[in-house]
A and B are shown apart, each in its own frame.
Chain A
């Protein structure tokens, strides 16, 4: 592509700068960027805005329920494998797409699975994939969300199949979105091509504001939390 050979970029920026000057805001151009006036940082800002989270694990489970997610708490790897099999057995026939990491390889080995398995190292999920299994970077108590990225088996792993199963541990629960975003930056997730919070199954209320689950993404989002 030719890009902006026409100088549109410079003209737009010039209009913005001209305007700032005309409005008596010459300082807007020359001063260094500073945090929002009167606010020293996001944590300070948010302190009085949202109620305190309290028990993060309990809050996460409550929010999951109100987001129409299914949360399964398990004591060990064997119980997690059993929980996985329970979910898989409730699904129609079709491929299981799994993020290719050692911890999920060992979970799959423990479970007796009828579905054909495709690993993320073998390519993206297909249109016919029935279920996907991935890890998450964190669980967010405030909104019952999972923090994932394209490092969790790619972009399609969390959106293409009608059911998405997330496997994680209780220590991954963070109190709020601010903590999740800070974690994303600390872990370098902002270097991935995709990152995001998923807070429940795919839904729409575009017809008469009536909530319907399973619009384009997964109808079911299942979280297995192991301790």
Chain B
């Protein structure tokens, strides 16, 4: 059992028993659910929208090499630098070198999961820069020294009162009534100084548009716009799967991303960055660097059945819909990408033996598949991870023996009947002795968290002999 797996089980048990935490998440996700229901009404045919998005992203992944080259050629022609990074170390080193060479003291960051994945902030701080997260949710979790809780709503686990206390402690700002409007104003003032003093802005990308050679960035707060406007350097860090073939595709992808992510008609600032400041423009960065990040993504291409995972547009819908995520929350997983998408992405891009357990935090209810805007077959992918995790060999010996024994029992009608008899009798004894739900109960794995199942008095076969022919 991997360390990550043990930690996941421990954290999940604690979080699932934390009723206040569960109430906060439930309240947030109910608001999201209502907004998404309204958002989908803006489509005449939501299913057709999903089919078309699936087709666009599938085509992009199918021709990934050529669209990446097209993107590189077009954006380079406008003066941008493109750097290809095979892993986190290469990407971090490239940006850290830029920080040192250009004398960067302050960095402002727009929300980006790719930079979380490669722990870029830590690398830049080591290189001597101060890094400010500027998305409000990211800023809050940065002040708490926590990773984001959710890929779209990083501070979803916190109440306004916790944020009030945090701002009082870290920023010296007093907002007694914890009015969200006033809390936002506090963050605005604190970050405005950072925006105007920063020499480098770092963003992710929601889409890399091949035919136009532009980086598409969606933010509601406008922090993405300021990050890409004020500092003299702009660095984009984007996974290679972010590519889309045509600018025209955004006419569908923008509204669909917004509908699935927050329920909005379109994200407030739907931005396209094509290069550094042009000669006739009054402002904008002097340099634009785009880091194209592999970091295990090409592993998903080695088998045709897993390539669909790269269609993901990181809307977070599968997290919000997942009954497990809703109980254990985003931090329990211990990964950059939690929930259903994280459970199929992480084991294949990082390490199967260390992270394959994530695919078991799932009841295969298929709710995630029903909401995915690019129609990734998440339940199938979760099963494929389980298959490969077992093949990779990090399964408890007891489980192996247990399943072998189970198979031996169910292969014969006689053994199955005997097994049923033994189970009924042993449960009757355990309960009579008062051992039920104690570690002495052979069903303790089940009864630890659940009410004991009623044990029938007789087997189905015995019942059938008595009643079946009536």
Q: Interface of A with B (CB < 8 Å)?
A: 1, 3-4, 6, 8-9, 11-13, 15-17, 19-20, 22-25, 28-29, 33, 36-39, 41-42, 45-46, 48-51, 63, 67, 120-121, 123-125, 127, 142-145, 150-151, 153-156, 158-160, 176-178, 181-182, 184-185, 190-210, 212, 214-218
Contact = CB atoms under 8 A, between A and B. Distances in A.
Given A185-B247, A217-B226, A195 B98 contact: no
Contacts of B301: 15-16, 19-20, 23
B21 to A, nearest CB: 14
A51 B42 CA distance: 7
B45 A48 contact: yes
A208 B69 CA distance: 42
A215 to B, nearest CB: 4
A45 to B, nearest CB: 5
Given A1-B83, A22-B302, A215 B223 contact: yes
B48 A49 contact: yes
B262 A42 contact: no
Contacts of B163: 207
Contacts of B66: 33
B284 A154 contact: yes
B15 interface: no
Contacts of B49: 49
Contact of A17 (B44, B65, B292, B303): B65
B298 A195 contact: no
A197 B27 CA distance: 31
Given A203-B221, A204-B221, A193 B269 contact: no
Given A25-B304, A45-B52, A207 B180 contact: yes
B307 interface: yes
Interface in B201-256: 212-214, 220-223, 225-226, 228-230, 240, 245-252, 254-255
A13 B68 contact: yes
Nearest to A37: B55
B83 A3 contact: yes
B294 A155 contact: no
Given A37-B59, A210-B180, A193 B192 contact: no
Contact of A49 (B44, B84, B192, B275): B44
20 contacts: A1-B101, A8-B84, A13-B68, A19-B307, A29-B65, A36-B52, A121-B282, A145-B270, A155-B229, A159-B269, A160-B226, A185-B212, A191-B274, A193-B281, A196-B270, A197-B254, A208-B28, A212-B180, A215-B220, A215-B222
A194 B274 contact: yes
Given A181-B250, A215-B220, A159 B225 contact: yes
Contacts of B196: 127
Contacts, number: 287
Secondary structure of the A side of the interface?
A: loop
Given A20-B62, A215-B184, 19 more contacts: A12-B240, A12-B292, A19-B298, A22-B302, A37-B55, A49-B43, A51-B43, A155-B284, A159-B225, A177-B266, A178-B248, A190-B214, A195-B274, A196-B225, A202-B269, A204-B220, A207-B136, A215-B220, A216-B191
A16 B274 CA distance: 25
A203 B180 CA distance: 12
Nearest to B266: A143
B153 A199 contact: no
B245 A19 contact: no
B67 to A, nearest CB: 8
B316 to A, nearest CB: 13
A41 B247 CA distance: 12
Query: Which of A178, A190, A191 has its CB near the most chain B CB atoms (within 10 A)?
Result: A190
B229 A159 contact: yes
Nearest to B29: A209
B379 interface: no
A193 B268 contact: no
B444 interface: no
Given A199-B266, A217-B225, A212 B64 contact: no
B313 to A, nearest CB: 16
Given A123-B282, A216-B188, A203 B266 contact: no
Contacts of B248: 41-42, 178, 181-182
B382 interface: no
A216 B284 contact: no
Contacts of B282: 120-121, 123-124, 153-154, 156
Given A50-B42, A191-B78, A214-B184, A206 B160 contact: no
B298 A12 contact: yes
A159 to B, nearest CB: 4
* 8 pairs of A and B residues whose beta carbons are closest in the complex: A217-B222, A19-B301, A23-B304, A215-B221, A124-B283, A178-B251, A206-B137, A154-B282
Contact of A1 (B31, B78, B94, B251): B94
A208 B160 contact: yes
A137 B397 CA distance: 66
A181 B49 CA distance: 18
B212 A159 contact: no
Interface string B290-303: 00101000100111
Nearest to B264: A199
B198 interface: no
A158 B225 contact: yes
A33 B302 CA distance: 22
Contacts of B188: 214-216
A51 B284 contact: no
Contact of A204 (B62, B136, B230, B289): B136
A177 B155 CA distance: 31
